């Protein structure tokens, strides 16, 4: 592989005034079994596919109102790669959203006010890649997070691209085409259940065939229409579709209302001795019109 002279290549992104990188890193460092990026020394390293080539980037916040991106390794395709990287990172950290209205709503709110102060500057860290987002949600169904991370790691290590740099291996989540031809038994060997295997393979085939894509979902014109298309997939139910709306499609009103973790967070923060009921949840989220996704993300954050 021709390793171009990328070691000196650096560029920067402007960030909104209410952005802070530290709480985003804290969130991303919540699992020591994360396989798709590495939070280390005040920054995050991640392998991205830019113009089809694996490129290892490091993101830090060294100056005010700025994220610094260093190209550490890989085949750098110049301006096209920079545009792609910038688009990915702005999406990943939701850099084009003004959180001021959210914080104004949270201020004075008993539960969320405290969280808004504790995690001030935290962005809804997204999963820009639709295949990764769908697979992450599918493997995360009804299993504890620790096991979900293990399943994601196995999929990534078995089917994804990788690049070694300074003695460490950085990995990219498989592309749909890399999984589409896999046998269900092969995924079963990674400890995915039959339903998870079938769902992941169905998504891989739809996406590699072009029948399903993030752009296609967004082009439908409404998040509700996108959700209906997602629900056609066997193994994708309400929780998964809402999760993908929230973290990949970035529907600001989406949140997984049936989520066990969300229920636990609300129970904890409201001091309930039981899970909140659906009407209680709906009443709670009615306080944040247009900011339901952020409210849920901050509530979720309180647990970890």
Interaction site with DNA (CB under 7 A): 30, 137, 140-148, 150, 188, 191, 193-195, 233-241, 243, 247, 258-261, 264, 300, 304
Instruction: Please tell me the distance from the alpha carbon of residue 244 to that of residue 95, in angstroms, as a whole number.
Output: 19
Is residue 251 part of the annotated active site? The answer reads no
User: Do 224 and 109 contact (CB within 8 A), yes or no?
Assistant: no
B/e letters for 157-180, b = 16+ CB within 10 Å, e = fewer, are eebbbebeeeeeebbbbbbbebbb
Residue in 5, 18, 259, 273 annotated catalytic: 259
Q: C-beta of 256: minimal distance to DNA in Å?
A: 7
Nearer to DNA, 85 or 133 (CB): 133
**Residue partners of 15: CB distance under 8 A and separation at least 6:** 21, 61, 65, 66, 67, 93, 95
CB 124 to DNA: min, Å: 10
* C-alpha to C-alpha distance for 262 and 285, rounded to whole angstroms: 12
Question: Residue 165 Cβ, how far from DNA at the closest point, in Å?
Answer: 27
DSSP 51-79: TTEEEEEEEEEEETTEEEEEEEEE---TH
Beta-bridge partner residues of 44: 39, 59
Long-range CB pairs of 77-86, under 8 A, 24+ apart, other chains included? 77/50, 77/51, 77/53, 80/50, 80/51, 81/50, 81/51, 81/53, 81/55, 82/11, 84/48, 84/50, 84/51, 85/11, 85/48, 85/50, 85/55, 85/57, 86/11, 86/13
Query: Closest distance between DNA and the C-beta of residue 115, in Å?
Result: 15
Angle formed by the axes of helices 260-270 and 110-118, to 10°? 110
Q: Which residues are catalytic?
A: 259
């Amino acid at each position: 592989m021709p390793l171009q002279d990328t070691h000196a290549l650096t560029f920067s992104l402007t960030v909104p005034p209410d952005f802070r990188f530290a709480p985003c890193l804290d969130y991303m460092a919540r699992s020591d079994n994360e396989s798709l990026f590495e939070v280390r020394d005040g920054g995050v390293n991640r392998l991205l596919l830019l113009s089809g080539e694996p490129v290892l980037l490091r993101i830090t916040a060294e100056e005010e109102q700025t994220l610094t991106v260093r190209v550490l390794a890989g085949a750098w395709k110049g301006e096209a790669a920079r545009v792609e990287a910038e688009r990915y990172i702005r999406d990943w950290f939701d850099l084009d959203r003004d959180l001021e209205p959210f914080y104004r709503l949270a201020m004075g709110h008993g539960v969320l006010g405290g969280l808004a102060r504790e995690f001030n500057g935290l962005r809804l860290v997204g999963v820009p890649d639709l295949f990764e987002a769908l697979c992450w949600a599918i493997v995360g169904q009804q299993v504890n997070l620790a096991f979900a991370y293990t399943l994601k790691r196995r999929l990534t290590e078995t089917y994804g691209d990788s690049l070694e740099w300074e003695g460490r291996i950085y990995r990219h989540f498989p592309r749909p085409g890399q999984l589409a031809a896999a046998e269900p038994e092969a995924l079963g060997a990674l400890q995915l259940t039959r339903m998870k295997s079938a769902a992941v393979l169905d998504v891989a085939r739809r996406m590699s065939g072009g029948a399903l894509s993030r752009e296609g979902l967004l082009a439908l014109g409404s998040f509700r229409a996108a959700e209906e298309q997602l629900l056609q997939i066997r193994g994708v139910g309400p929780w998964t579709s809402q999760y993908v709306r929230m973290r990949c499609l970035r529907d600001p009103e989406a949140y997984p209302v049936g989520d066990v973790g969300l229920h636990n967070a609300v129970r904890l923060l409201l001091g309930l001795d039981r899970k909140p009921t659906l009407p209680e949840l709906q009443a709670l989220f009615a306080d944040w019109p247009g900011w339901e996704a952020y409210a849920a993300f901050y509530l979720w954050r309180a647990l970890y």
